[in-house]
Structure formats: C-alpha cells, structure tokens
Structure 1
Amino acid sequence: MIDAVPSTEIVITAERAPEQAADTPASVSIIDGRTIERLGDPLIPSLLRLTPSVSVSTSGPGGSLTEVRIRGSENNHTLLFVDGIRANDPATGNQPRFELLNSDLASRIEVVRGPQSALWGSEAVGGVVAVNGIAAQASSYALGFEGGSFGFLRGSASGSIASEQGDLSAGIGWQKASGIDAFDGNGDKDGYRNLSARVRGSWTLGPGLKFGAAAFSLSGRSEFDGYNPNPPFQHTDTLDSSRNRLSATRLWTEIGETDASWSGRVGGSFLSSRNRNFLDDIELNRTSGTRSALDAQVQHRFRTGDVDHRFILAADHETEDFKARDINFGGATDQDQSRKHSSLTGEWRADAGPISADLAVRHDAFNRFKDATTIRASLLANVGGGFSIAGSYGEGIAQPTFFDLYGFFPNAFVGNPSLRPEYSRGFEGSLRYRKASFGASLTAYRQWLKDEIIDTFDPSTFLSSTDNRKTASRRSGIEAQADWSIGEKLRISANYSYLRASEPNDLGSKVREARRPKHSGAISVDGRIDRFTYGASMAYVGSRIDTDFEVFPYQRVRLGSYWLAGARLGFEVTRGVQLFTRVANAFDANYQDALGYRTEGRSIYGGIRLARGR
C-alpha cells in the first residue's frame, strides 16, 4: 500500500533513528511488500511513479537510462539508499542508477520528500529514496518466473531464516528484454538485461550487542540509440550500448537497545562501480569509482518533566576515487581523481504529549571545495479528532561531480575546480487526517536552489565549462494523498501533485524547467479475495517541456500528457503455488519521457510463483 499518513509503519530515513511514520513531520510515502508483489512491476522506477511529486523519465524502453526527480529537483539531487548503503554512483556524477533496481529484491520502498541534507548530507536536495531488501522470516522462500511481450523474461529466487539469535536473507533476480527500436521503430531493437543479488544478516552476540552485514550487486546492459559521430551529430539509429556494474558491502555493530538511555552504532561500507560505453562491439570509454565510508552514531534518551528527549550525535568520513578512460581519443580525456570529506551531525527531538519538535544541524567539511552547514527544523501537533498539522524547514546540498570539477575534452570542454556545492532551502506545511482504515493529507511546499551548476560556453575560445549560476531556481507545489482499506480484500491509494518549477534563462527571464510535469497523479489498488490476488495502478503524467538539441538554436518542445495503466491477477492453484498474468501500458499509450526516445506499447505477461512462509 502507498500510504498517505501511515500510522504503524516505521520510517527509517526521515530521522537519524527509526520512528513511527505518524510521529514524523516529514512528507513520507511507503510502498510495502504486498503492493510490490501484487502490482508486479519488474523495475522499481515504475513503482516510484505512483508516489506524489516524483517524476520518472526513461530514455527509451524499460531498462534504459532513468531519471527520477522529486519535487522538481535535478536527477542527481536524489539520495538513494539500498539496504542502508549510500548507493549513488560516484562514476556517473553521483547519480542514482534507478534503471538497475530490480523490484524482485525489494520488500519495502520509502520516499522522503524535501531537502534532507541536515540528516544525510550531499545529494539529499529533492529527497531520499530507501530500498530495503527481502525481510528475514523464519523458513521462508520464494521462486518466480515470468515471460511475455517484447522478448521479456524474468526469474528470481529469495529466502530467509530467522531465530532469536539472528537472521539471514538473500535473493537473486534476473531480467532481459529484446525491447523495441527507440529511435523511429524501423531500426534495430534496443533491449536490456540485468542481474541483481543481495544478502543481509544480523547476529545477536549478547545483551545489547548486535553485529550486522549487508551486500548487494547490480549489473546491467542497456542498448540505446545515440548520436551520429559525424557532422551534424544528430540523434539517429545506432548500435550504442552501456554496461554497468554497482556493488557494495556494509558491516556494522549496534551497542545497547534502541529504547535504552544510551545506545549507538559504528559501521563501515565500501562501494565500487564501473560503466563502459560501446558502439557495436567497440569500446568507446569507461568510468569507474569507489566510495569508502566510516560512520558512528550515539543516541541518548532522557526525560525532563513531561517532555521526552532524544539526542543523536553522528560522525561520518568518506573517501571517493574516480577514474575515466577513453579508447577512441587516445587517452586525452583520462582522469584519476580523489576527494575526501567528513561530517558531524547533531539531532534533537522532543515529544511533549501531542506536540513533537525536531532540530538537526550538520557540517560537511570537503577537501576539494567549500564546506557547507545545513539545518532542518520541524514541528508536528496532533490537534484531535484524527487531525494533525506539520511544518518544516530544510536545507540541502549537492557536491560538484568529478567531471564538473576536472573533466576535459580536447578543444571542447574543461572543468572548473572553483565550483561551490549547490544549495537548496525549502519550507513545507501539511494538514493530515488518520482515522481507523482511512488516511489523507494535504501538503504545500516551496523551495529555492542556489549556486546551481550549469554549462557555460566561451565564444572567444569556443570552450565549454561549468559555473555556479548567480540567480536561483524556484520550485513550489501542492500534494494531496488519500488511502483506504477493507482488510485484505481491498486497499486503495490515490494522489495528485501540482508543481511549478522555473529557472532563469540566458536573458534573465524565468522559464519552465524541462521534464517536470505541472500536473501528475496516480491511483493504485490491491487486495486478496479467496485464492485470487490482484493489483492495478494508473499514473497520470501531465505535459512537460523538453529541449530539441538537433538544430541550433535549440528549441523548447512540448511533450504531451499521458495515462499509464497496469494490472496483475494471480490465482493460487494450490498452497504455495500461484499462476499469474500481468499487463503493462494497458491503454497502449504512445508517449515519450525524453524527446526522441520511443517507449513500449501495450504488453502482456504470464508466470508462476512458488512461495512458503510469505
């Protein structure tokens, strides 16, 4: 279920410590495991499209490069966690690789909207997305296979065990599709394949002492239509492809019970990525990156009078390395760069009956560019009758990418090592209602983005570079959500979002930002009746602006609105054995998320699922 204001769900990323969703002032959407299974979408971006103020742009058919923008922010302004590991790719400008996320390995998706850098640091400008793997349950397993239109095949296996001393869960998922021609429908098909795996476990070593480990690996190959290498360099039908790999490991130790007076944790993680681009079978270039991180956090709970307090102090240290290699330019664009940064975060929360307040302050010290300090302050008040009001102020930062700082392309581009981090601040206020099985919320927000990193061009040298924009981009909007359930038979969620996003153009005027729909919304239903399980969703994406880079001067083009619907129906033929069928793009919408890149029409699939203990 995609909850409006969930009351019993635990939110992980809205604060530095887990908290019940009804008790956090943050704007949060949670997609639970039953919704993920019953809707049946193979990739996580299709599920994110169903949450408020989340715009998904895929450059072609499924598995292609996917951009996710929260509340009108940039694609690299979303921070992604996978099983608690910071997963933005250091080898591609710290962008999250959403196209690699296989939904078969997810049991829960959490989306926190609004600037969250005071809690989590760089890239948390538009919001945070946390994807959690299969939850550990005693003696449970699941196997699945599916096939259908456009040469699509999909298989997965997962299992878990749990006891009083510990738990262990693991899963693997594989997908492939021959796809469609993304250019004009008359050329070669552009398909994809990916392979994903994850494992997570924890062991209780003694009273108040727990050790945990988690790891994941994401790999994929995506075919796409690029640009003619010869003048006039137009978008055309090509044999381009990219091969991507992202893997990470995290170890941690928890000391003390979370509800004890004192508790804490220490941990470390390591992430590596590699991206290679090909034309036919000829490698053009490659990038790789690593991120090593150490973190520690201590929490103190205490009470003064009628007020419960929680204070958290956290410290983080991170090292990133980046390498770029080209084949077709004789190594002229090669790079070997590294950077470090440390941070200190303090968060205080107070609960006084129906009123809760939260304040977080974080300082990030960078060795390559200017330091940054961010703040988040919020307040939640339960006013009775199921109603509550919430408000918050938050700040966000996004560090310059390695290419922004040091990139080089002969006679065309040179980076700018004097860049500053991008900075955002925003306010939001919401009215919420929760009574029994019905919940609703109405939220209004306003955000500013300063020091945005933009491309520049010097007509005297004919060189492009990067710089911080002198004036601010502005985003404001409204989000309305509602959810209702009748036990297991029916659960329904609906939302509508209005967004106004503008940026200054070269003449100083405000223009609408590209690939951001002004109107969007979604409705999803799922449930179980006897042996039948079902799920269906319909997303509306309003008209957007994109830029046509084919002919100079570049023109702004309007992309039309569309409805995207899907459904899945399963039947349990015997205990633990389910047959199912699924349809995607049920209305056969003819749409483009990115100008010049076609998407699939209506498609139909069927499969089998074996499960025990779930």
Structure 2
Amino acid sequence: MKTFLSASVAVAIVSTSSLSLANPYRLDDQVVTATRTTQSSTPGIAATSVIGRYEIERLQATSVPDLLRRVPGISLTNTGGPGKNTTVSIRGSNSNHVLVLIDGVRTGSATTGDAAWQNLPVELIERIEVVRGPRSSLYGSEAIGGVIQIFTRRGEQDGVNPYASVTVGSRNHHAGSAGVSGGHGNAWYNLGISSLDTRGIDARPGAPSPEPDHDGYRELAANLNGGYRFDNGLELDGYVTEVHSHNDFDSGRKANADNVLKTYGARAAFSPIDPWRMTIQAGRSEDKLDTFNGSVFDTRIDTRRDSFGWQNDVEIAKDQLLTLGYDYLDDSVNGTTDFREDSRDNHGIYAQYLADFGRHSWQLGLRSDDNEAHGRHNTGSVGYGFALSQAIQATLSYGTAYKAPTFNQLYHPFYGNPDITDETSKNIEAGLNGEHGWGDWSVAVFHNEIDDLIAYFNQGDGLRAYNIDKAVIRGVEMGLGSQWLSWDWRTNLTLQDPANRSSRANQGELLPRRAEQLFNLDVDRRFGSVGVGASVHAEGRRWDNTQNTNELSGYNTVDLRAQYWFSHAWRVQVSVTNLFDTDYETARTYQQPGRAGYLTLRYQPI
C-alpha cells in the first residue's frame, strides 16, 4: 500500500452492547442495525458508525454521499457531481454488497442492486447507521460488505416543533426544507419536505465525444411518519418517504432522466408476556426511472421490493437476549428491457443470541434463506468481546455471507449471464477500542475472502457478467477522537488491499474503483455564538478497470465551515467545499465538482 496525502471527518464511531427491549424508534442514545435490536451506544463487537442530526447540520453536508465519504472504510464513485449515479463500497467490497434500509425497509434497485444515494434528501434524515463487516446471518443476501440504515426525521417531544432551512450556493445551487414534528401524550409525528435545484457541472469534459454543457439536477422530496403507544404497551407506527428527481447527464443529445423513489411501511410492536417483545413490519420500496433524449422517451425501468418481517426478542435471563425471526422479500422488475425473468421471492429464518457475562460479551447468529432463483443458503456469525479494563475492550468475530446475483447480472439481454453463481464470503476481524477521559480510539484488522465475485468482462461476446474465482480483501481501520487545545478532533484511516485472486486473467490485480487508502480528519470549535470547523478528505489511487491499465490518481480535498447563532433557534451557516479547487475523478472521464460556496439560514428550536 502506497503512502498518500491525507485528510477528513466528523463521524461519531460507536458500537453496540447493553441488552435492552426498549422502544427501537426512540433513538437518542441507541443503535439498532448491528443486532436488529435496540442497544445502547457503548463500545461493543460490531464496527458501527453513527451520523446523527447534530453531525449532519454541523458538517453542512449537501448530500448523503457527502456524509458517507467520512465514514471509515467507505469509498464512493460518482459520475459527474450532484444527482449523478453514485455507488458505495464498504471495505473494498462491491457496491451491491451493501444492504440498504430506510426505516427498516429493504431498498435499492432490483436490477443493479445499488441504492440511489444521489437522490436521498439529506434534510429529511435523522440519523445514519453504518455497520461494517458481514451481516448475512441477520439480513440474508447483500450484506457481504456491511449494512447502512437511514432513519428519517421523527417527532419525539411533546408540543409542536417546526424546522426550516434555506441554502444558496455556487452553480445556482438552491435548496430548502421545512417541516413540523412533535408529539402529544403517547403519539408522535413528523411531516417534512425538501427541495434542491442546481445547475451542476460539465460531467464529462474529458470524454472521447465531449458534450460541453451543464448537467443539472433537481429534486423534490417529502416524508411523513407517525405512531402511537397504547396503554397496554402496543406500539403502531407508519411512514412514507417519496423523492421525485430530474437529472441531465452526458449520454447522447440532451440526455436526461426522471426518477421516482418511494419507501413506505407500517410496524406493530408489543409484548405478549413480560420478557417477550414481538415486532411485525411490512414495507415496500420502489425505484422508477425513465430516460429521454431531449423530449423523446428512450427507456423505462421500474423495480419493486415488497418485504415482511416477524421478529421475536426474548430476554431469557439477565443480560441475555434471544432473537428469532422470519423475513419475506419479493423483487420484481418491469419496463422496456425484456428480462428473461422478472420476479423472484426469498424466505429467510434467523436466530441470534446476545449475552454479557461480566467482562465477556457474545453475539451469535444463524440464518437460512430459500431463494426462488438460487436455492438455499445458510450463513452464520460469532462475535466475542473481552473487557481488558474498564476503558479498553478487545473483540474477535467471524462471519459468512452471500449475495444473490441481480436481475441485470443474470437476465439483462445485453450483459447478463444466466450461468453465474451466487457470491459467498468468509470474514474474520479482530479489534481493540477504548474510551478514556481524553477521548476514544479504535483499531480493527479484517480479512474477507469472497468466492465467485461477480465482475464484468469482454471475452469476445461483448461486456458480460462473470464470476471471479476468488477475491481477497485485507485491511486495517483506525479511528481517534479527542478534544485538544479546546478543539474537537476526530480522524480515521483505512488501509486496504482489495485484490483479485482468481485463477483467471488479472490475478493479483486490484479490484476496480476501490481506493487503497482512505483518510479523514475533522476539527471544530465553538466560540460563544460562533462555531468554526474544517475537514480534509484524502484517497489513494484506484484503477478504473479490472486489468489495472486505467489509473485514477489519488487526491485530497479541504472544506471549511462556520456558523453563527442569532438565538437558540436561528443561525446562519457558511461553507466552502474543495477549497483548493482540486481536480480529480472517481470514475474515468467523469469530473468532480471544484470549489463551491454555500450560505444557509436555519431555524431549529431546541
């Protein structure tokens, strides 16, 4: 691994422990995703990062990808700025090895397997939880690299609490949000809307056939959720998030696309008897994309994912929790592309055991999935934590995972391959973490072997999906947070070697579009009514193809920010991103935004 110029972040790095059957949607000091149960945010076995609403506003992020790039082990690829296709890799795995949940509902395109990160409205998000490492023993397919769960804003306090923001910035960037949240007695609710309109940049100035223009983007999003807790302990809640977007991109004369994302669902949770809590959830996510050449319709692709879950958490003894559950998922595809198969379902059953015995912590998981197209898969995991002292904990974990091929990989008429097989993995991880009066730190070493990794090759019949016999991804993550000289400091560094170990061609080459080094540094300070901060983000080189002949150079960017509170509710924020106007690419020929400035007026009563 080569050295490189370093840099940026502000992410609260926390994990899970302390067993509880508390309400999983009162998330002040809780994390959910690592165990599918509510856990207090104390160091534990899973490598988990949490980005809360306070961090989102302090960092003045303009998009969800802006937030995720600050998380340890995450590398992003973007094709030309705001609204353009963005993929996320965790610890060097494929982008579709990341399971994505929105309020507990499985989302993402059934054709590509990727979530539309570029279209998610950052102003309507309460918090993001990122779990690194395999989680198929809890969630089934897709969770080879990890799980990312997004929780939309929720009302939890009595009374009516309005909020609003207005942002203007470079390249005709105009954004706004408004909403109201709150509660009364046993009820809570939230209604929010947000919008964004930007001229964008010329996405591909270096393309073989450049199209000099501004590739703009606009979106309109809304979120509604609410719930009620009855006196007998029964909790009911429902939620819907919808995003409409329009994107101009370089792929033919005046190419553009209209996209609609929908996620909605309902949940019931209650305790039939005291130590037993049952949760039933049903949801649907939709991803609809229409593309055009000018005003002439070109293609349509609609995917839908219907899910149902039944989970039972039983406190079998003090600090011992047994979870038993069943998941159902139905994926379907519709549109102008003629897929050989257009639907499939999956049934999964799982069990988990969590326990704390003094200085010892355990997390054991087992799951069996029956996929209509790919048969049965069994996955498992074991995690162990040992408190070396009151401040330092050692962890060791092992997990298996699998990923069913997407509809595109199997059935697309041009580059699908019905002969490819499921991807499977084995991951082992060891770590140390500590919490002290001066701050916190963590170190984790991981080794992930992925068999039959799916990649695209041209073997004389055009670009098609094929299995790579084996890929091995080794790496180390380090994080540190502290307060020094009255400044809040947080940094993380990931060094990884995502290598192709196949017996086919390209053995020993690095997997495409994975940076070998990732570094983040974030510093902030408050001076009375004024807050200031800076972030630096750096990535090492990456390759744009499997043959490692198209190199993308490493880069670093610097962001500055400041805010001023007029009162406890009103504040003005200003930021400059990519201060030194760094010229870089994360995908070949696709330019990334240069220097930009933003001014925000925000109203948020405490």
Letter in 1 for 2:161: S
Letter in 1 for 2:216: G
CA drift at 1:279? 2.0
Specify the alignment match of 2:139 in structure 1.
120
CA drift at 1:242? 2.3
Letter in 2 for 1:46: D
**Is the partner of 1:512 in helix, strand or coil?**
coil
Is 1:154 equivalent to 2:175 in the alignment? yes
Q: Distance in 1 between matches of 2:341 and 2:604?
A: 48
Letter in 1 for 2:275: S
Specify the alignment match of 1:232 in structure 2.
none
Specify the alignment match of 1:601 in structure 2.
594
Specify the alignment match of 1:432 in structure 2.
433
Specify the alignment match of 1:353 in structure 2.
358
Is 1:299 equivalent to 2:310 in the alignment? no
CA drift at 1:81? 1.3
Q: Distance in 2 between matches of 1:31 and 1:202?
A: 24
> Do the aligned partners of residues 245 and 336 (structure 1) sit closer, same or farther apart at CA in structure 2, a change above 3 Å counting?
farther
Is 1:3 equivalent to 2:12 in the alignment? yes
Is this contact kept in 2: 1:310–1:349, CA < 8 A? yes
Q: Residues 268-279 of structure 1: matches in 2 within 5 Å?
A: 268-279=282-293
Is 1:169 equivalent to 2:190 in the alignment? yes
Is this contact kept in 2: 1:288–1:324, CA < 8 A? yes
Q: Distance in 1 between matches of 2:576 and 2:420?
A: 47
Is 1:444 equivalent to 2:441 in the alignment? no
Give the one of 337, 343, 346 matched to 1:341. 346
Is 1:221 equivalent to 2:222 in the alignment? no
> Do the aligned partners of residues 491 and 198 (structure 1) sit closer, same or farther apart at CA in structure 2, a change above 3 Å counting?
farther
**Is the partner of 2:62 in helix, strand or coil?**
coil
Is this contact kept in 1: 2:182–2:189, CA < 8 A? yes
Moved more, 109-118 or 184-193: 184-193
Q: Distance in 2 between matches of 1:602 and 1:466?
A: 38
Letter in 1 for 2:230: L
Is 1:310 equivalent to 2:321 in the alignment? yes
> Do the aligned partners of residues 135 and 490 (structure 1) sit closer, same or farther apart at CA in structure 2, a change above 3 Å counting?
farther
Specify the alignment match of 1:319 in structure 2.
330
Q: Residues 169-188 of structure 1: matches in 2 within 5 Å?
A: 169-184=190-205, 187-188=212-213
Specify the alignment match of 2:104 in structure 1.
84
Moved more, 239-248 or 174-183: 239-248
Letter in 1 for 2:124: L
Specify the alignment match of 2:258 in structure 1.
243
Deviations 1:401-420 (A, max 9, x none): 112222214xxx5x443443
Deviations 1:238-279 (A, max 9, x none): 522222111021111101299x41111111112222111222
Specify the alignment match of 1:422 in structure 2.
423
Give the one of 221, 226, 237 matched to 1:196. 221
Give the one of 459, 478, 481 matched to 1:480. 478
Specify the alignment match of 1:367 in structure 2.
372
Is this contact kept in 2: 1:38–1:526, CA < 8 A? no
Is this contact kept in 1: 2:106–2:305, CA < 8 A? no
**Is the partner of 2:480 in helix, strand or coil?**
strand
Letter in 2 for 1:225: D
Specify the alignment match of 1:391 in structure 2.
396
CA drift at 1:354? 1.3
Q: Distance in 2 between matches of 1:205 and 1:108?
A: 26
Is this contact kept in 1: 2:513–2:545, CA < 8 A? no
> Do the aligned partners of residues 36 and 368 (structure 1) sit closer, same or farther apart at CA in structure 2, a change above 3 Å counting?
same
Moved more, 271-280 or 574-583: 574-583
Is 1:261 equivalent to 2:275 in the alignment? yes
> Do the aligned partners of residues 536 and 105 (structure 1) sit closer, same or farther apart at CA in structure 2, a change above 3 Å counting?
farther
Q: Distance in 2 between matches of 1:455 and 1:396?
A: 21
Moved more, 68-77 or 289-298: 289-298
Is this contact kept in 1: 2:106–2:307, CA < 8 A? no
CA drift at 1:21? 3.2
Specify the alignment match of 1:492 in structure 2.
489
CA drift at 1:110? 1.1
> Do the aligned partners of residues 141 and 525 (structure 1) sit closer, same or farther apart at CA in structure 2, a change above 3 Å counting?
farther
Moved more, 527-536 or 445-454: 527-536
Is 1:568 equivalent to 2:569 in the alignment? no
Specify the alignment match of 2:381 in structure 1.
376
Q: Distance in 2 between matches of 1:576 and 1:350?
A: 43
> Do the aligned partners of residues 181 and 458 (structure 1) sit closer, same or farther apart at CA in structure 2, a change above 3 Å counting?
closer
Q: Residues 493-508 of structure 1: matches in 2 within 5 Å?
A: 493-504=490-501, 506-507=504-505
Specify the alignment match of 1:145 in structure 2.
166
Is this contact kept in 1: 2:521–2:536, CA < 8 A? yes
Deviations 1:25-59 (A, max 9, x none): 00011112111101111101111111111001111
Is this contact kept in 2: 1:4–1:482, CA < 8 A? no
Is 1:587 equivalent to 2:589 in the alignment? no
CA drift at 1:85? 1.6
Specify the alignment match of 1:231 in structure 2.
none
> Do the aligned partners of residues 558 and 458 (structure 1) sit closer, same or farther apart at CA in structure 2, a change above 3 Å counting?
closer
**Is the partner of 2:375 in helix, strand or coil?**
coil
Q: CA RMSD in A?
A: 2.3
Q: Distance in 2 between matches of 1:442 and 1:141?
A: 41
Q: Residues 500-519 of structure 1: matches in 2 within 5 Å?
A: 500-504=497-501, 506-507=504-505, 509-519=507-517
Q: Distance in 2 between matches of 1:182 and 1:464?
A: 24
Is this contact kept in 2: 1:246–1:273, CA < 8 A? yes
Q: Distance in 1 between matches of 2:539 and 2:506?
A: 29
Q: Distance in 2 between matches of 1:22 and 1:86?
A: 26
Q: Distance in 1 between matches of 2:43 and 2:588?
A: 42
**Is the partner of 2:123 in helix, strand or coil?**
helix
Unpaired runs of 5+ residues, structure 2, are 1-9, 17-27
CA drift at 1:504? 4.3
Is this contact kept in 2: 1:21–1:28, CA < 8 A? no
Unpaired runs of 5+ residues, structure 1, are 229-237, 327-332, 549-553
Is this contact kept in 2: 1:563–1:589, CA < 8 A? yes
Deviations 1:543-596 (A, max 9, x none): 111139xxxxx8722211111222321212244222221111112111111110
Is this contact kept in 2: 1:39–1:526, CA < 8 A? no
CA drift at 1:537? 1.6
Q: Distance in 2 between matches of 1:115 and 1:6?
A: 15
Number of residue equivalences = 579
Deviations 1:432-470 (A, max 9, x none): 1101351001110000111222345564xx36543433x
Letter in 2 for 1:106: I
Q: Sequence identity of aligned pairs in percent?
A: 25
Is this contact kept in 2: 1:241–1:280, CA < 8 A? yes
Is this contact kept in 2: 1:2–1:483, CA < 8 A? no
Q: Distance in 2 between matches of 1:591 and 1:14?
A: 34
CA drift at 1:386? 0.6
Q: Distance in 2 between matches of 1:95 and 1:6?
A: 25
Deviations 1:168-198 (A, max 9, x none): 1121111111011122287111111122221
Specify the alignment match of 1:466 in structure 2.
465
Letter in 2 for 1:514: P
Q: Distance in 2 between matches of 1:485 and 1:596?
A: 41
Is this contact kept in 1: 2:107–2:115, CA < 8 A? yes
Letter in 1 for 2:368: H
Q: Distance in 2 between matches of 1:168 and 1:508?
A: 54
Q: Distance in 2 between matches of 1:334 and 1:126?
A: 27
CA drift at 1:109? 1.4
**Is the partner of 2:581 in helix, strand or coil?**
coil
